[in-house]
Structure 1
C-alpha cells in the first residue's frame, strides 16, 4: 500500500485527554502508514501547553503548532493540514480515541478505489471518565446513492470527523474547512465534499467519542440557528437544495429534541419537536416523538427500556 496519512489534531485546553488521543494514534496496528501527527493548539492554558511540550518528545512524527487563540476548530484544521504533504488526511479531535485497527480497516478502502475521497465509520459514544459505558451510535450508509449531495443534506448519517479518512485532492477540490463556520463546520464541509467525490463506509465502530459538557454543542441553546445557517449556505451554493431546507431543519430539530429528552429536559424536547412538525408536517417520526414527550413522558422513557437507559448512560445521564 503506497498511501500514507497525516493525522490532523486540534487542541484547546484538552490537557487531560490529548495524551490518550495521541497514544491511540501511535498504537495503531498500521502506525507505519503515519507520515505525520500535527496538533494545532488554539491558545490553551499552561497545563495543556505543558502536556503538548511533553508529547513532542514521544515520537519524531509529532509536531505541535502553538497558537495565540481565537482561531477555532476549522481554522486550526486548515492550519495543520497546510503543514502536511501526505496524500491522505485523518482527523482526530483532542478528546476522542481511535480503535487500534482504524487505519488498518480504512486505508485499504481509499487505496482500492480512486473514486472514493472520504471513508467514514461508525463510533462509540461514552461519558467522560467511563469508557465502560460506551454505546455504539449507529450511522447510515448513504454511499450508494446516485445524488450524494441531496442524500447527505436530507439524512446526515452522521459523519463524525474523527472517524474519517480523507483524500487530500478531494479536500482541495472542496476548498477545505471554512474557518468562518464555527459550529457544524464538518457538516458544511461534507456538503461541499459530496459534490466532488464519492464516500465509503466501514460499518463498524472505529472511534470512541467522549461526551463532555464543555464540547462545542454541549450546552448551547442556539443550535438550530447554526443548523439553519449551514443549510442555507449549502443551498446558496447548490440552489436545488433550497426546497429541501425545511425538511433538513425538521430532521435536525427532531434529533435535537430526542437528545434533550434523553438528557431529562422534556420542556426543551417539546419545544424542538414542535418546531420539527411545523417545519415538516409529514415527518411522522417527529409527530411520534412529540406526542410521546408531550403527553406520556414517563411512559415514553420507560418504553425505551434498557436501550434508552444505555443511551442515557453513554451521555453521562444518571
Structure 2
C-alpha cells in the first residue's frame, strides 16, 4: 500500500460547505500521498448535488455514492473501506482543515500526524486543537491533549483524529447505532481493540489548531439532536466492557455507563485541563465566554 493518507468526508445536504472542506484538504502542502474520499449519503439538496459534481471532477478526489440515505456512521465506514491509503483522517463536510501559511510552515497536520504514527507503534491515534468559526469563534473548550484514561472517563475526542486504517477496520469502524457522541465512541473502539491485543495506548497530539469547526444553524446538526446520552454510553460500554472494567473496576456495563455519564468532565474541569496545557489559551477562552461555563452557548451545542 502506498505511503499516504485518505481524508474521508461524509456528506449529506451540506451545500457549498462540502466544496470548502474538499478545497481545504486539497490545499494541504503535504509531502505524503493524499487522497480525498467524499461519501454522498444520497444528498437531494440542489446546491449539494452541484458541489458534489465539482468534487467528482477534481484530481485526487473520489466520490462514493451510497444507494440509500444511511447516516453519517455508515457513510464514514464506506469511505474508510474505499480508501487506498494506510492512514485515515475523517473530516465533516461542513468543517475545514486550516490552510493558514504561518501554521503550516513547520508541516501540515497530515504529514506530522502520520510521522508520529509511523515512528511510534505505541500511539493509537493523533489529534489536534480545533478552532471554531462561523456563528462563534475561538478554541473549543476541549483544547488540551487527550489521554487513554481521559477517554475512558468520556473526555471529548474530536472527529479529526488520524489513525491507522487497518486498526480502524479491526476495531469495527464506526458503530451505526451510535447516533451522538460518535467521535468518542470510535476512539473508545480503537483503544479497546488495542487494549485487547496488548498494545500500548498512547495518544499523539499536535497543538495547531489545524482543524476549523464550523458553528452554524443549519438543520440536522448531530450536536444539537435530542438523543439520550446514557443510552449511547450504554451501547459503547457494552461493546467494550473489558476496556471500561480495566479503567473503572469489575462492574456491570449499566453501572459503568451510569458512572461515566455521572462523572464526565464538567466545563470547569475541561478549562483546568486546558490551563494545565496552555494557561494563556485557557484565560483567553474564559474571558471570551465571560467565564460563564454553563452559558447559553452550551444550549446551542457549541463545544
TM category, shorter: 0.7 to 0.9
Structure 2 residue 249 is the aligned partner of structure 1 residue 245: no
Q: Deviations over 1:219-262 (max 9, x none)?
A: 3333424443345434545461445433320244945xx9xxxx
Q: What SS does the aligned partner of 2:180 have? A: coil
Shift of residue 152 of structure 1? 1.4
Q: Structure 2: any 5+ residue segments left out of the alignment?
A: 100-107, 270-284
Equivalent positions of 1:164-313 (< 5 A) are 164-195=161-192, 196=194, 198=201, 199-213=203-217, 214-234=219-239, 236=241, 238=243, 240=245, 241=248, 242=251, 243-252=255-264, 254=266, 306-309=287-290
1:83 aligned partner: 82
Structure 2 residue 140 is the aligned partner of structure 1 residue 123: no
1:104 aligned partner: 111
Q: What SS does the aligned partner of 2:289 have? A: helix
Q: Structure 1: any 5+ residue segments left out of the alignment?
A: 259-284, 286-303
Distance 1:251 1:96 in 2: 30
Distance 1:78 1:190 in 2: 14
1:41 aligned partner: 40
Shift of residue 71 of structure 1? 0.8
Q: What SS does the aligned partner of 1:82 have? A: helix
Q: Deviations over 1:55-91 (max 9, x none)?
A: 22121x1111122443111101111111122111111
1:11 aligned partner: 11
Q: Deviations over 1:267-308 (max 9, x none)?
A: xxxxxxxxxxxxxxxxxx7xxxxxxxxxxxxxxxxxx97331
Q: What SS does the aligned partner of 1:38 have? A: strand
Q: What SS does the aligned partner of 2:224 have? A: coil
Q: Is the 8 A contact 1:125 1:137 kept in 2?
A: no
Q: Deviations over 1:75-114 (max 9, x none)?
A: 0111111112211111111011111332233222122213
Flag the 1:177–1:235 CA change in 2: closer, same or farther, 3 A: closer
Shift of residue 172 of structure 1? 2.4
Q: What SS does the aligned partner of 2:89 have? A: strand
Which structure shows the bigger proportion of residues in helix conformation?
1
TM-score by length of 1: 0.71
Q: Is the 8 A contact 2:13 2:48 kept in 1?
A: yes
Distance 1:68 1:309 in 2: 47
Flag the 1:239–1:123 CA change in 2: closer, same or farther, 3 A: closer
Q: Is the 8 A contact 2:180 2:223 kept in 1?
A: no
Flag the 1:252–1:227 CA change in 2: closer, same or farther, 3 A: farther
Distance 2:43 2:109 in 1: 28
Q: What SS does the aligned partner of 1:166 have? A: strand
Q: Decide which moves more: 19-28 or 183-192.
A: 183-192
Shift of residue 20 of structure 1? 0.7
Q: Is the 8 A contact 1:212 1:218 kept in 2?
A: no
Q: Is the 8 A contact 1:38 1:64 kept in 2?
A: yes
